[in-house]
Amino acid sequence: MKNKLVIIGMPGSGKTTLGKMVAEKTGKQFIDLDDYIVEMSGKTIPQLFEQGEEYFREVETNACLEVARRGDLVIATGGGVVKKSINMEILRKDSVIVFLNRPLSFIMNDIEVGSRPLLKAGKKKLLTLYEERFELYKDYADEIVVNDGKQEAAVETIIGIMIKNSLC
């Protein structure tokens, strides 16, 4: 039985912001997977990436395994969680996966690249990541929610998905 909501999408799509809002409105615990990784490893995301992206992805897989053991959560993943199919297999076992699809032009207008290791080359890297990941997001998603306007509308749509799937 499904007992978690997992939000996937591009960096800057609003996964954490909307995930927190959804969790608050539904009384669920919220976990930002990147924050969980920092807590679990004792290192920042940039520090983990200094050891290579593959190393970071292994740590991310371990975090997926740990949060998958818990129920009644809203989880915002890092944007690259879809790059390893094992991560999505772990998460989808008992979760409804929502792809938060925010138009790339919106993301480029307001994303801070400084704290995001894969974007240190600048905003142009976003286009590369988008082309690399967009189909993966669609393939892994149970539902797609467009985040192109008011946050509250996207939150209500996500809560509707949770109700439909008996998550709240």
Candidates 3.40.50.12500, 3.40.50.11540, 2.40.50.180, 3.40.50.300; CATH matching 4-164: 3.40.50.300
Q: In what order do the strands lie in the sheet with 73-76?
A: 29-32, 73-76, 4-8, 95-101, 143-146
Give the pLDDT mean for 19-47: 96
Q: Which residue has the higher pLDDT, 116 or 75?
A: 75
- The domain locations on the chain are 4-164
Average pLDDT over residues 105-132: 69
Does 158 have pLDDT greater than 70?
yes
- Asked if residue 109 has pLDDT above 90, the reply is no
Name the pTM for this structure: 0.91
What average pLDDT score do residues 119-140 get?
82
